[in-house]
Each structure stands twice: as structure tokens, then as C-alpha cells.
Structure 1
């Protein structure tokens, strides 16, 4: 509502700046250019206010932007009022020549001063508005040049409904919004639902879409879902009713029941009994096409949303059909457009759909052809034929993507990423060239359909990007009507999606969205779809035979998550998924091995295994290891794999098995030289038995080892080094780990030395609980000297750390240092003054440290010093009194904590 007022003020400012009186003042004061610039800035802002208002409902950053804008727009409005007061004073002086004060006020000397001040004020406000206006580009706001008449109509509806909802009443009031299909009842209800005044007035807000069957039990379930963001664990009218009464009892609430069709009085009475436990002043807002429903339910007079009048209709049409919303000069399109708009009967959705369709047609002949040949398909009170016109004009690749919506039920909320992945899996995405990312092309498809009005409700993230859409009943009806003739390949079982309980996409680790095979135990051959697989799902019928057909039909699948606990075999037919990029096999407690065919997945980028407690071996290459050249050139072994995550697989021993059929000693050089040519990120946690892996000499991004063995890393370093020095056909462009940026090592009991001399690109290093590691063998300071890129360093739980490695004095790039639980460390060296970039220093549980070095006073870059659980050191650092206080008094932030003794 605040944005509606802001729009009106902006319109008033533009009107004022265009008036004859203000132009005259501009000429007299010499500020015509500044006033014109101000007018242009306000016009630019006003053009995006409509879109900003819509986005502000879901985007807090846009709301903040509007708040900043509001303050400056009010200042501009006040300034213009002052200008007009000045104009009136001038007129008064001219008329009677008697007002002495006015004459003094407007004397030549005062006028020059006043002109300068006013000119400065105009410029200052204009510059503020310019700065705020420029920020609008962050939110990708669309310009919508709309005449004031249309906006005034929408504002009136908004204000009137808000007034009725906020009025005092002792009862739970029910207010229906009625109107034909396509008028924007749901959109209007959404704006009201998200209004700031609503938030202040009501303790609780709920929203339930009831476009399908109106069963009281289902409605209650949807209401509870909107409150708790998840389905209730109980079912049954009595149980759900009890929970609802507990949740809303005594609270002033607003409930929106969207798209209501039920005309059964008894069902309404049953629901009202439950809802009347709310506090007085609670409100129920209903959107419906039915006047009968309004009569049955209303306790507050219904609000009937009307069609646009002729002027408003033309204004809306211009906005979407013509470039920048401006009528083309000397074009027959205007005349034809007005005839077309007249046929639209004032229905905004029809006007926008046809307007956007015609905006793609450049020629006047195309507009005439549409009027003569297609306009007759538009039927009053029936929008589907109009939407079908827009659908018919879609290119073929968008037609099949749109028709795919038919598998989703009405009111279904779809994540954009899930939808795009489904399109990709079905082979609907056709990039113009091989180098273009399928996800990027899918995004373009999605935004194209969004722009063409094929979605009604879109939700945005804080950055203003659409990430979720809702399946409007109109879109569902249209998609269903065209799907049968277009996509005959859609499995009939996929249409059963509306009957499935699990209707969401799981987020697994760092994989954005996981498309998962769901197989029903009762209809294994008929009910297969791409959905989230919950732990409770029955997978007894998840056989290789059933998967064969599934994988064959999903040959374009990119992301697959088989995360569950019920099956013990991954079918070898998985190799048919040639385009698979992300594979997650976590939480499969029965799996003992993985099929070797996984290694044939030529495009696999990421492999994740977590909590596979029975897993003993990982897939090996299909071919026999004949010689080193064959090993290196064998493209069947994960040629694209860049990320491996293995977590809590306590029985996992290695990437191969010892057997007669694979008669190679795991310790031989030939065997160890099996490698991942592109692996960039390796994470192994809680895998104490895993002691051998293929080589990964080109690791660049991250190495994480926690409660695991150092042996696989040592094998890579040793064998890569020996291979580089020999005449083998395997050549490495750089030493192993020399491009690695991040290392995290924790609980590594076989780590005795760290090859820091190789880590020339390392930025982040953390070593924790590695009792055998000795870093004191760098007597001449040469090994650590090469770490010129190191930014953060952490030592935790290292009993052998007596002193910091000497070579660290040369690492001047260091910004953060943490030393914790290193009881043998006796002193911090004076050479730490070399760390000119150090910003944060943390010392914790280092009982051997009894003082700080004098060099601390020379660390001028240090912003934060933290000392925890070091009693002696803390006493020496007491403010003003401690012996070490002069060394640290210059540090802005000091965080000291004594040991917890409770």
C-alpha cells in the first residue's frame, strides 16, 4: 500500500514539473536544466515502481530500496510545494505591489541568494534520486509505463479491501473477492496478504489454495501446512481440527482461502465452527468466481472486482504490446490494436496475453491477420481459447516444455531448477551450440515462458531472481489440453504425480537439486517418476530390470540421487545415463560394492557417498591394466570427475578389490598409477579403512581428510614424482598438489611430515589432531618459504608443535592465524612482525605460552586478538595493568576468555 501512495506522489511530481508555472519559475531561477533532469529521474523511477511493488512482497532488498526511495520522494514533493508557494508570492507582489515583506523577500540581493539555495536543493535531491534510481539495476526491475487511471483503479481496490479487513469487529469476519477468471483476484489477495499494515494488525497469517475438491479435512491440512511449513503428522477430521483450534485459538488471524468452488453450506458450517475460535477481529479473505459462494460465506460485504474500462484496457495493452509503452506514430497498429482490445472485454489476463503475443509481431500485416483470423477464437468468460492462441505461437521447443506442466497438479509449487532438470532429463533442451550449458539454455526457456504470461505466481529470492513458480489452474488446464497431442512419450505413470505424497525435490549436500527415481512397491511397472525419495519409501522392487527401462527413457538425466536405506544394489544399467553430471548414493546402508559401469559415465562431474556403512569397494576401470600408456589413455575411467565426497564409510578399503580376476598387487606402482585426470576436490571423512585411491595429481580446489589415512595422498605424491622423473608416458605439467588452494587435515594418525614445499598455491591450511606430525624439521626455513599465497593458517591439537616453523616468517600474505590446544608451544617468535597483512590472531588452550613477543606492538595491521583459556597469558594482558598490555593496546578488538570452571 505504501508503494501505491509512492506511485501517486511520483505521478504528482512529474505532473508538477511539467506545469507552466514551474517552467516559469525554472526560467526565472536559471534551474530549468536541473528541473528537467529531476523530471527524467522521477519518470525513470515511476516506470519501475509497479514491478518493484510486486517484487517487494517476496524480496526484502527491494523493500529496503523502496523505503530509501520514499524518503527522498517525499523531500522532492515538499520542495516543489515550496516552489509553488514562491510562485504565489511573486503573483501577489505583481498584483498589489503592497506587500512589503514580499518585496523584501524577493529583492534582487535576496533573490540571488534564494536562487542559489533552491538550485542547490534541487540538485542535491536529484542526485540522491539518481543514486537510488541506479540501484534499481540490481533487482532487474521491468519498466511498466502505465497511465494513472489504471493505477488508480488498482489502488482503489487495494485500499478498499484493506479498509474492510482492518475495520473493528467483534467477530471472525469473512470477506469474499469475486470476479470472473483472469481479473487478478489471487494477485490482489497476495499483495494484501503481504502488506505491512496486515503484518502489524494480525498475529497470524495463513494461506490455503482450495481450487480442487473442498473437503474440510484437506482444507485444514493445507492451513496447518501454511503455518508450519510441513504436513501435519496426523490425519482425520477430529485430530486435525484439534490441532487447528490449538494453533489459532485466541489469536487474531488472517486466513486467505484462494480459488474457492465449494457451494455446500454444511461444509462451510463445519469449517466455520473450527475457525471461530480465533480472536475478535480475525478475518477470512476468500477469492472465488462464484456469487453463490459469496452469499453463503460473507459476513462482510463482498468486493466485486470489475473488468477494466475502455481507457484502462487500452493503457494496459499499450504497456505490453508497444515498445516502451508508447503508441507508434503513423501506424495502423494503433487502430487495429483498439479493435482487438475491444474484443478482450476488459479482462487483464486476456489483454496482457494478446498484447505480449502481438509485441513479437513487427509488421502491420501480422496484426491485421491476427484480428481477421484469430480474434474470433476469443470467447467471453472463457480465457482458455485466448491462452491457446498464445501457446500456438510458441516455438516447438517451448511447446513441449510447457506441455510438460500437465504432469503437475493445480496449485503445485515448482522450483525453477527442478523444472529445468526435468526438461533436460527428457531431452527437451536443445542448445544452439555444443559449448552452451544446458542449464543456462533451460533458464532462457523458463524466462521466455514467464514473460509470455504462462505463469501467474512467481516467487523471487533476495537478489530478485525467480526461483519458484506456482501452477495456476489456468496454466494447468491449458497444459493438460495440449499435452496429449504433443508429448505422447510422456509415461502415463508420470501423470499420477498428483496422487503421490512426496512432491518436492531434495537438496543433497552441495548438489542443487536431486532428481530421484521413486518406485512404488504396489505398482512397480506403472508408477515411476522423478521425485524425492524419502527414507520411508519402499524400494524392494527397485530391480535392475525395472531400472533398465527407467534409465533408457531418461538418457538426458543430469542429476541423480539414489539416497535411501532399502536397496543393496546399484544396477549396472546406470551407465546408460551418458549425460549424468551429479550422482549421490548416500544413506544406502546395504550396498557393499558399486558397479564398475559407473566408471563409464564420461560426463560425471561429482560423486557423493555418505553413510554407506556396508560399502567395501569402489568401482575400478573396466579394462585390464596392461601397461602405463593404456592406463593413462583409458577414457572409460571417470575422465570428467572433478569432485569426490566420501563420508562415514567405515568399511571402505579402496577403489579396487583383490581377487584372482584382478590379479594386481595394490602396492605396485602400475596399480597406483590408475588416476583421475581432472579431480579438483577430494573430501574423505570418517573412513579409517580407506588406504588406497587412484592418483589425483591435478587436485586444485580442496583436499579434506578427517579421521582417514594419509596414505592415498602420499601415494599420489610419490608415484607422480617418480613418474615425472622416469621415461613413462605419463607426464605432469606441475608437481602434485602445487595448484591446491585449500587443505583441511584432522585426526590423521599416519601423517608424519607435510610436503609444504609443493604447496605454492595454497591459501587455506588447517591441521588438527595429528599427533604424529612434526613441523619442526624446517631448520633453515626453506620448506615453508614458498607458501606465498597463504591467507589463513590453523594449528589445533598438535602436541609435537614446540615452535612455529621458521619458514613462516617469509609468508607475508598471512591474514588469519589460529593456534589451539598446542601444549608444547612455549613462545611466539619475534619475527611475527614480518606478517604485515595479519588481521586476526587466535590463541586458545596453549598452557605453555606465558608471554607475548615484543613484536606484537609492531603488528599494525592486526585488528582482532583472541585469547581463550590461557590463564597466565590472560593475566599479563589485563588492561592497563598487565605486563603485556603495552604490546596489544593498539589492537581495536580484544576478545579474552578464561576457562569455564562451572
Structure 2
């Protein structure tokens, strides 16, 4: 949780800085409160790193972190309200649109707004002060400074793998071993270079290292390569350390005190004229120049030398193996039979003992199915059940899921957490927000990027770069880090999915922030802020489902997999109840729904950035209140076949970047669509009567 809080704090601190020194420059009282708020947040941030390490064993620290996360959300709401007021003022006073934000309070009721916001800032600041003061109770928390890259001490993962493996402990990898062995010793002239790279790619816990150990110690491989080297690179990549480990593995010589020149000479002497095999295990760096330099040092070896690279990232595999004709070996999960065999080994010790417990084997089969063929997950849950022969223990694990259990550092969740903790803070929240979508959901990059934008998760490093382009970089980076799979280029966008185990990691990082609702009677934690409904049927006439009755701070409502038959239900009462209730909504997706009237209270959703009512075949008009959504970035109402006329004043949607519409109008000039200067995309669907569209390009 601390990693999530840390990334949230980074984002809020940056926004508070912008706000304090730009938007409220002349509001001294407000500025003073903001500066106090930033100071307290900075102090708290210093201990988050240590809190991350200690929260697993201390319930009080976990509770403290949850309080921090909640108050950071409140601070974001305050910041967003200032931004929304800035946009409103630009619309109210168009002639001031290019002026400095010092005219921020020149709109209607400026004193009332300033007074109200001053009290709100003071209120959240006092709450934060109270929470921050509680850290003195945790005397063991140490201020460790701010590290944006990771909350995990990287060095402890260095040198954690070695070349030996007990063959009998590796199940289901014979075919993979034979295929890689054939690549290593069967083809020696694939390239003009002496050395070629064999990348092995797969998610954490899939058994890349174990497979590589099998290959490395294979009798034929040992005979074929007179010189063998095993190096655990890990994420803390230092060239000199890699060279030292290679030399020590090849010669046994300790060269810790050598400089780079001496290391280069020693390595050349060790490899000159020899056919070698080098394993670089757990590679994270995709710095092409670094790897080209390293490969240059290895070229002194004899023809047919091979480098095996294990990595979680297809990008790393592409960088290191891109000059070869050797294809990447994509490691897949175990078959159900292989998974069960491995499970029996860890849960019972041997098959004979398992046969004495047929009931447990039946439950175990269901548990193994949850592991999705990932060996580390199978081994983890099997070891948890070792020596437990009470059926209730097994049912508890089956019903609660393996990720509800306490994990140790070598179990599947920490193995995947390593990838998460390695991410920069701007990617962490983007990844966590993906938990709002169900397992096996097919993502569309365009939709996901606009979802992230709605929650202000994308920050452009410079003013010349569009947020959409930055978002695409985020998507590609998450894919390169193996958080997304089945990545396909569709031309203008990408589609991809998320492995079930990655989705479990995503949910664990989200804590109670996100919830997928499967029924109207489902209980939802009152701290939930992001809701998605799937396989969900809302009874006709029901105003607010039980699951929503206690919620107030919801930011997301979406129906990502609701069938088109959802239109047959009357959703009017749901819409009428939810829109005025959830004033902090940023993302509202009511596509494929069926209601006739959009309530005028929609104008109160000043934070709303994404609004989709596509494929509503009953709604006939949109209220003028829509034009007051100055924060709106994406507006979709295509497929609304009964929509006769667009609302007046759409030119006031000054933040709108993406518009998808259906209308029966002949001209759109009166609505002001052509004057939305922030527009990046305009999609016209089934606008059969449209004759003219005038677009302002200024």
C-alpha cells in the first residue's frame, strides 16, 4: 500500500506546487494553507519508504497508510476544484482567457469561492497534520528520503540465483529444454557473429530460471561448451559487477579490485578462442548501447558461443536478441496435468501419500486451476498445505483464493511485486487503476488512455507533447514490463490483455480503492472510489443498489462487459440517483444503457472528464447543463439514434479533446462543436442528415 500512497503523494505534491505558485498567487490565505499542506506531505513522504517494508508485520502501520491514502484523495479533490473553477472563469469571462491566473477570482461570487476553499484546504490540512502526527507512535520508522523509482531495496535481489537445480524438482519442462538445447548446440552458424543470444521471456514465477538451470546443466550442453558462466544480473544493473561475476564464474578468479581496463583484459583472456555459454539471468535493462558494448567484449569467443538471457520484458529480449536469427523462447504455463503433479509433490511429498486422501486431491485440483499453470504459484499453495490434512483447511484456501493468504518473500505475489516496485511512480497508479476491469478483459489502448486521463494520471514532460502520446508510451512500457500480454497493433490503437496473476497483483495493490460489482446485493467497502459492474442486472425501478447506498466518494462508474441487452432495462432511476449522489465522478460510462432523460444535475459534476452514453436508443435530447462540464475531455454519444439536437453551448466545453456523436441535425454550427479548440478527434457516426460542419482551426 505504501508504494501506492507514495505515487499518489508525488502526484499531489506536484499539483499543489503548481497551484500554490500559479493559480492562487494573490490569495494569500489560501496560499499559506497550501504551503503548510505541502510541508506536512513532504515530511510524511520521508517515512513511506520504511513503512512499506514494515507494514506486512504491523497492522497499525497498514491502518496509518490507509488513512494517508484517503486524505490524499481528499487533497486531490480540492486541487481539482481549483482547476475546475479556473476553467469556469475562462468561459464566464472569455475576454480574460489569455490572461494570467491572477484573474482567477474575478468570476461571479469570487469572495464566496475563496472563503469556502480556504476552509476546505484548512480542513484537509488539519486532518493530514493529525494523521502525520501519529507516525511518532511508530518509533521504528526511519526517514529514508524520497526515491521515485522504488520503495524496495534493490540490492537484496542481487546474486539470488545460481546454476544448480535438482532435476526431479522441475516438472513439465522437457520439451522446452529439448528445444532450447537444439538451438544451443544444433545451429552454430545462424549469424556472422561468433556469439548469438537466446532470450527466454515470461512473467515472474513462470520458471524461466529453473528451465535455464536444466539447460545449463544438461549433459550434452556441458560437453558442447568448454567454458560456462552463470550471472544473475537482476534489476540493479552495474556493468563492472556483471564483468566480475562472469570472470569469477569462468575462471574462479576474484577480481573485485580490478578497474574496468583490467576487467576487460581479464575477460578477453578467459574467453579467447573458447566456445562458451553465458547465462544472464533476470535481466531488466533495455539499454541497447550497454548491451552492444558487452557483446563486443564477448566476440573474442569461438564461433557457436551462446548467451541465454532470461527476462520478463519482451523489449529486453528484442534489444539483446534483435541482431540474431534466433527466435525468442516464450515460456508458457504448465498443463493442468503437469501443474497437478507439481502440486502433489509440494503438498504431499509423494503420489502414494496423495492417493490416501482422494477428497483433498479433488479440492486440490480446483485450487491448482486457480494457479493458471504458473509453477511458482502451484509450489506456493502446495507448500502452504503441506502436512495439513484437515479438509476445512483446504476448502478455506480454495474458497478464499491463494492471494488472500499470507505471503513470504519467495512466493508468487512478492515475485510479481518486484516488477511492480520497479516501476516509476507515474506508472504505478496507471497499473493499479486497471484492476477496475475484470479478468481476461480485452483492453483498447485508446479507451484505457482516456480512462487514465480522466483521473489525471498522465503527466506530459513538456507542453509540446500531447497527453494521448504520453499515454501510449505508458501502455507500451507496461507491455514491455510484461504487465500486458497478447499485444496487437490495430493500426490506430492497440489491444491487449492482462494475465490473471498480474490482475491479482493489480487488485492487491488497489486494496479497497477499486471494486468489481457482480450483483445489486453485493456489499462494497465504503472507502471504494472506483466501481465497475459486470454480469450485472439492475431491477427495474430500483433507485440505488444496496452496494452503492453507503458510498459518497465514487470517482468511476463503468459497465465494461455489459451486454447490449442491458438496454432492455429501464436505467432512469439508477441515473437519477447516481448523478447527484457522486459529485466527485471523473469517469462515467453509461454506454448501452437505456434512459430517456439526462438530469440537469449533471452540471454539478465539475470533476467529470469522461462521459459516455453511446448506444442509448431512447434519449432524445441532452440538457443545456452539459455545456457546464468544463473539465470534460471525452464525450461519447454515438448510436443515440433518437437524439434530434445537440445541446446549445457546446463551445463552452473548452477542455474537450475527443467527441463521438450521432445526430439528426443538418448543420452543427449552431451548437458550437466547430469552435471547440481543444478537440483532438471527432467521430461522426450515422449522421445521415449532416450537410455542413465548420471547424475552427485557430
TM-score calculated relative to the size of structure 1: 0.30
| Structure number with larger C-alpha Rg | 1
TM-score calculated relative to the size of structure 2: 0.37
Tell me which protein shows more helix as a share of its residues: 2
Q: Which structure exhibits the higher relative contact order, with contacts defined as CA atoms closer than 8 Å and separated by 6 or more residues?
A: 2
